A and B are shown apart, each in its own frame.
Chain A
């Protein structure tokens, strides 16, 4: 099954890191992706720029409404995602538990949904 692991953390924790700590965290993530790829679990993934770069788009009555900021102001911000190939939820949870920010943020694991075939 395909699972998306959404990585959330408080950006304030990242902002408080030293250059070295931030560098080490990134290297740990790089190594993690390398390991997931070798195991055949990694489909794709992407870290994101901080939430103050977010723009939210809505279409109402055919009008495109653009606003500054994320969809919802939350205590933790979306920091990136992994698209994983796992046998079941237990394996997906086990993989997610090894994503480095799981230690200070949280990882939301959701099964992916396939769009139905074109009519």
Chain B
């Protein structure tokens, strides 16, 4: 007998994504599945307090949802909505089991992250369908207008249906091609929460937590090295959350953070996932980035950081992803291992790259190395350039503070 309403809320939290992912497969339509799921939960609220909670609540909810969905298709056939569901839905109610529910969640994630959808749509759909956020929550999380976001989700669902994007997990041979796309969406969600590209708040705890939760689900469903690596990376980065900002919201660099504020539980968990990731070869880019984050997490003080190891890890990462941003990070690591002048020499080589000229962190890194090297005037110019390019509030204030410190000291 249920006497407490919160119970149903908890079941909704735990079960709604599992129920939804299976209903999408059984009913063949996102919107219909969502309506049917809501009806199933409504029925549970009415029936369970009277009849008791069924032995297998997930199975009950799926069966009830499927029945409602089928009824609706039959009713709608004459009325023409859902007329695209031409085939008669199987009247046989299938008994859902753990394995199929498990596979359905993966199907849903791979469909939400399908490369034929725009990246914006993939992020929005994943947050909406996989993380169970409302359209309003997704919109506020992504700093977009709810109407724009709702429109984008409607369009994406229409494309899934009309272009025939299949509701399936890619076969093993396609997985290496498709998995990075899914991981990218999860990491974008994390970063969107962790460090905004504009606005005044440095991080939004919820989106980062959603991304971590999603990666935990994926790690259980799809035990691949890079899934573990991404999860480790996010846990290790997230462990520094309390130390990244002072009370006024000012950004604090890794070097100056109070390391006692780092979340040990998150670090320990990150290390465990990293170990699992490293046990699987080949070592992919997320695992390498997690390894770099782990070197920082391992150092009790900034001056004890094993920069030689970080440089080696960046070398390996650059081999896999020869991007200017990784080259920039590698140059900074070399400066820390050797001297600022060595790092600066590498940065000069990168100057000619177009992507670097407009990247505020490049100029900020250059300014920092020039400052360490005692070239105050040059550092000032580089900070000015970085400031001209930065949009985010806390990062902007950080650069302004650094620039002011230079002026005071000279």
Which residue numbers of A lie inside 8 Å of B, CB to CB?
A: 1, 3, 86-90, 92-93, 110-111
Contacts and interface: CB of A to CB of B under 8 A. Distances in A.
Interface stretch (B162-170, B223-231, B368-376): B162-170
A86 B164 CA distance: 10
A88 B167 CA distance: 10
A88 B166 contact: yes
B344 to A, nearest CB: 40
A92 B114 CA distance: 14
A111 B164 contact: yes
B163 A111 contact: yes
Nearest to B170: A90
Please report whether the interface of chain A is mostly helix, strand, loop or mixed according to DSSP: mixed
A87 to B, nearest CB: 8
Most B CB within 10 A of own CB, among A86, A90, A92, A93: A90
Nearest to A3: B164
B109 to A, nearest CB: 15
21 contacts: A1-B164, A3-B164, A86-B164, A87-B166, A88-B164, A88-B165, A88-B166, A89-B114, A89-B116, A89-B163, A89-B164, A89-B166, A90-B165, A90-B166, A90-B168, A90-B170, A90-B174, A93-B116, A111-B162, A111-B163, A111-B164
Given A87-B166, A90-B166, 6 more contacts: A3-B164, A88-B165, A89-B163, A90-B168, A92-B164, A111-B162
Nearest to A86: B164
Interface string B145-163: 0000000000000000011
A91 B59 CA distance: 32
Contacts of B114: 89
Contacts of A92: 164
Q: Which 10 A-B pairs have the closest CB atoms?
A: A88-B166, A88-B164, A1-B164, A89-B164, A89-B165, A111-B163, A89-B163, A90-B166, A89-B116, A111-B164
Nearest to B115: A93
Contacts of B174: 90
Most A CB within 10 A of own CB, among B116, B163, B164, B170: B164
A93 B166 CA distance: 12
Contacts of B168: 90
Nearest to B161: A111
A111 to B, nearest CB: 5
Nearest to A90: B166
B163 to A, nearest CB: 5
Contacts of A3: 164
Nearest to A92: B164
Contacts of A86: 164
